[in-house]
Chain A
Amino acid sequence: MIARTVVSAAVAASVLAVAPAAFAQDDRVDTLGGLHHRVYESPQHFAMELRLAPSFYPDVDTDPSLGGCTPFKSVFGPGKTLLLSGEFDWQALRIPHIGTLGPGLGIGYATFSGNAPLATATSGGCITSTSTSSGESTSLNIYPFYAVAVFRADGLWKDLGVPFIPYAKAGLGGALWQATNTLGTSNFNGDKGQGYSMGVQLAIGLAFNLNVLDPGAAREFDETMGVNSTSLFAEWTDASLNGLGFQSNPLRVGGTMWTFGLAWEF
């Protein structure tokens, strides 16, 4: 019953999420060579993910130039935050019995905020926060984005019906970031606190195809909306935004994190 409820909820969410794309399909022929499609399967070319990383903590304090100082932790503390993101993949290439390969684009958002401490003292070369908070807010807004190649090994699911789909992603990552206070964008001697950082985006994950829980609903969803599968996934993400070689001094707003979410293939 619970499983059916989960599938139903996922299907309902999917209807809202992918309806426009699904309606765009005007034929039922898989030109990419889906030789083992079941009768009810519609062509599958794309995937979309709703992603939640509940324990995101950027690598700002790992900047070697800081000499061991931890300004991020000093201001915002050790608490992690939620990184909300979305991804769209084009499954441009299907490798029979193996899986799909194609490009994917993602974008997200996370923010850290708190009260800026009053005048701080320098201790051992590092600025230490006082215990007295000011009436001024401070925040760091991060907008990650990436372009990756995505490989989904769904051969087991397609051929044998095993609902687990391992996958991997690799590509370029980046993030726009902005440090603000009550008066707007922070400024330090004319150096505005906003910019972007570049790096590498890597991820490996495992998706669980929910179709197996209610094949009937999944088939109906495919027939009516063109969504081939709905999956839950867990992913280990590594966004090392350390400059990618050509950026000498990026603010390291990337990090490693667990990401969970819901994926639809259509």
Chain B
Amino acid sequence: MQTSDAAVPINIFFIPVQSTEAADTSGAAYQYPLNTDLVAPPPPPSVSLNPGDTLLKVSWTNPGDDPDIAGFTVWSDPPAGGATSGGCSCGGAPGTGANSYVGADAEVPGVDATTRCMDAESEAEAGESDGALEGATDAPGEAMESGSVEASMPEASSPEASMPMPEASTDGAPEASASDGGTDSGSASVPDGGGDAGAVNCSPINIGGGGGSCNSVALTGKSFVVGGGGGSVFTEGGTPVYDDAGNIISTGGEGGETLSGGGIAEIDPKYKGYELDDKVPSPITLTGLTNGHSYVVVVTSIDAFGNVGPVSTPQCGQPEPTSDFWKTYKGDNGSASGCALEAGDGSTSDLPLFAFAVAVTGAAFMRRRRTRR
């Protein structure tokens, strides 16, 4: 078993065998180079939340020049537009910027980046990898278009499933993993770790695990994919798809609303070019949330093969009303009004009046000029 956080070559040898004769191995070995990446990148460090009016700004520290990171996925529980009851509990009082996560942290799997899916790998080495591979193959919604897509499946943590096809590994892995990152490509973007640590198949994240106030709400639903390919930079996933065991195998959906937030323009170049510099897509803003409701947010990293890494330490935040300039001005009984009011109060419908005034002034000047001539 070879592990690496970067692509490594794998040689597969084929030995022709005829049923009526003994195997002839002399000069019959064929090398078929495949590149794969077996280890997903760690989550970005120092993830933090900053609340706003129906929004949360998610920030993290630039992970630096890490060639293994091709993008990020931001997960919220509940998702935007989702349930406003239940969910997780946040420590601290609203307005204090508190983001402490109250839940069974110890049971949040995948926080430790280095141990994610090691049990699965170990079991694979022990000869139980067939189960993982079959499970991945049989997973609903797994209509893969290329080997690289298949390689990006979380279930593909086992070595066999992680191998992309040669052509995919050389040309399109980023796009494949991007378009599938947490949206519509089967279980590709569903971070694993399992509700109970050590699950062979790296079942979906369940914040709170077996206890805590978040027990009933899995970190599922919509994901906010950063660095999506195909021109879709920020994609909010749709309805998640569950397997028979209740695990998320797809966050579903495609397209959806475009999220606002700083750094959007920098996401695509970073993703496509595998470049990491100061323009990493942080912060981003999750919008469409409900004020006063708690949201748990984690961030995962994705590599060029679509491997989704473990989640960051969960952060909890509550969107809260703010007083931007206009609200403050109006709250202070400022009398100016915007476009919603009638002409004469500074609405843009007054513009023709101003244009008329300018035109009259100009005409008067021109008339005076001609008179003098």
Contacts and interface: CB of A to CB of B under 8 A. Distances in A.
Interface in B347-373: 347-348, 350-351, 353-354, 357-358, 361-362, 365, 369, 372
Interface stretch (A8-16, A17-25, A193-201): A193-201
A202 interface: no
Given A181-B324, A183-B55, A196-B346, A251 B50 contact: no
B325 A140 contact: yes
Interface string A124-137: 01110110111110
A93 B332 contact: no
Contacts of B345: 195, 247-249
Interface in A215-251: 246-251
B54 interface: yes
B343 to A, nearest CB: 9
Contacts of A198: 350, 354
Contact of B346 (A92, A112, A188, A247): A247
A135 B324 CA distance: 11
Interface stretch (A34-42, A158-166, A171-179): A171-179
A126 to B, nearest CB: 6
A226 B250 CA distance: 69
A45 B204 CA distance: 74
A188 B330 contact: yes
A127 B55 contact: no
What band does the interface of chain B fall in when counting residues whose beta carbon is under 8 Å from A? Answer: 35 or more
B95 interface: yes
Interface stretch (B22-30, B66-74, B167-175, B334-342): B334-342
Contact of A103 (B50, B330, B362): B362
B339 A120 contact: no
29 contacts: A66-B332, A71-B332, A75-B323, A103-B361, A118-B320, A120-B328, A126-B332, A127-B331, A129-B323, A132-B95, A134-B50, A134-B52, A136-B53, A136-B324, A138-B325, A149-B365, A172-B354, A172-B357, A172-B358, A181-B326, A182-B285, A186-B324, A192-B339, A193-B326, A194-B339, A196-B346, A196-B350, A250-B336, A250-B346
Interface in B287-317: 287
Given A249-B335, A249-B336, A135 B326 contact: no
A262 interface: no
Contacts of B358: 147, 172
B334 A65 contact: yes
A106 B325 CA distance: 27
A191 B341 contact: yes
Nearest to B327: A188
Contact of B336 (A117, A135, A251): A251
A37 to B, nearest CB: 19
B335 A135 contact: no
B100 to A, nearest CB: 16
B131 to A, nearest CB: 44
Contacts of A191: 330, 337-338, 340-341
B263 interface: no
Contacts of B330: 188-189, 191
Nearest to A192: B338
Contacts of A207: none
A183 B95 contact: no
Interface in B70-113: 95-97
B32 interface: no
Contact of B333 (A66, A116, A182): A66
